[in-house]
Amino acid sequence: MNTRFIEAFLWSARLGSFRAAGERLHITQAAVAHRISSLEEDIGAKLFTRDPRELKLTAVGTRLLGYGERLLEIRQDIIALGRTDVQMLGLVRIGVIESVVHTWLVSFLENLRATYPGIEVQLTSETTRGLHRGLHERSLDIAVQTEHIDEPGIRSTACMPMPMGWVGAVDAPAVQDLRDLLAQPVLTMSPGSQPHEAVKQMFRDAGLPIGKVHCVSSISALVKLVSAGFGHAVMPLPPVVEHAQRGDIRFIQCDVQVPPQRVVVSHVEAVPASPDAIRVVADLACMASDRYTTSISDLQASALTVLTT
């Protein structure tokens, strides 16, 4: 079975359209549709119910999700068999945004060290703007951030987005109207970040002047301020699920959904020192991000249900 067909199926299911899957895989929408049709012929069953508005998984397609993820993981393990620490050496300078530090970064680094002990990692945590600057100046080799970089010599790959939403103190109402939330002090991530831009757009969409908005780059600091009742925050939700489960803060449901935070892995190409190591680490970072987002999707839904009631 062609794993490229499985990859096209998984991205179509995750992103909800052949067009989006094609953009993620850098192929045409028609090529994605062809791969899905070929996979359906191999299996002998339809994987999607197609209509002009949305792409829905069939019962067989739903069952294939788990098998497909495992198959691609096995493929990566097989590829790794041929890369010894002698073959894969080099220093790789990685920069990540705050939400990555609080979610999948540690497990990713542990797996990387176990699989490729010859690769040395130098880590930086910065804002998306700072990471863009690092790639542009070539002080970074890889950046995990929120924006596609359209620059010669840099390749960007979009990963599955990370859910964002409102959080408040434990005694805050679990369900609130957007205008009520915006009438109170609002906390969010650093100026110019995607969460900050989302907050400003919510004010504009509500026809309100931008009120008290406090930008804090540290997720830990945001949790402390929110738990102390300083205001409600718009932020990525996965990094703070454990805080909500412990009762430090609570998730707030709002009548207007906050767009998810994009996750993009960008890396420099044609680096003489360690081009293979950079490419491999960038690919592994994409897979680690997608694997984490997939794994927390069900947990996120159940946490939101429990923690907003």
With a cut of 80, say whether residue 99 has pLDDT above it: yes
Q: What's the average model confidence in pLDDT over 39-59?
A: 86
pLDDT at 87: 60
pLDDT at 28: 86
Question: Whole-angstrom Cα distance, residue 18 to residue 43?
Answer: 19
Read off the pLDDT of residues 137-155 as tens digits, 9 standing for 90 and up: 999 999 999 998 888 889 8
CB proximity list for 215: less than 8 A, separation 6 or greater: 187, 188, 189, 190, 191, 193, 196
Q: For the chain, what percent of residues have pLDDT higher than 70? A: 90
Question: DSSP letter at 240?
Answer: G
Read off the pLDDT of residues 232-286 as tens digits, 9 standing for 90 and up: 999 999 999 999 989 999 999 999 999 999 999 999 987 666 678 898 899 999 9
Residues forming CATH 1.10.10.10 domain(s) in the chain: 3-81
Spatial contact of 229 and 153, defined as CB atoms under 8 Å apart = no
Read off the pLDDT of residues 253-262 as tens digits, 9 standing for 90 and up: 999 999 999 9
Residues forming CATH 3.40.190.10 domain(s) in the chain: 90-160+262-300, 164-260
Q: What's the average model confidence in pLDDT over 210-236?
A: 94
Q: What's the average model confidence in pLDDT over 274-303?
A: 78
DSSP 95-106: EE-HHHHTTTHH
**How is domain 164-260 classified at the CATH fold level?**
D-Maltodextrin-Binding Protein; domain 2 (3.40.190)
Q: pLDDT band at residue 19, thresholds of 50, 70 and 90?
A: confident
Q: What's the average model confidence in pLDDT over 156-181?
A: 93
pLDDT at 293: 85
pLDDT at 201: 94
The mean of the pLDDT values for the chain is 87
pLDDT at 191: 92
Q: pLDDT band at residue 80, thresholds of 50, 70 and 90?
A: low
Cα-Cα-Cα-Cα dihedral sign, residues 284, 287, 291, 293 = positive
pLDDT at 85: 47
**How is domain 3-81 classified at the CATH fold level?**
Arc Repressor Mutant, subunit A (1.10.10)
Q: Which CATH class is domain 90-160+262-300?
A: alpha beta
* pTM exceeding 0.75: no
Q: What's the average model confidence in pLDDT over 209-214?
A: 91
With a cut of 90, say whether residue 296 has pLDDT above it: no
With a cut of 60, say whether residue 305 has pLDDT above it: no
Spatial contact of 104 and 289, defined as CB atoms under 8 Å apart = yes
β-strand partners of 162: 261
Q: What's the average model confidence in pLDDT over 180-206?
A: 94
With a cut of 80, say whether residue 213 has pLDDT above it: yes
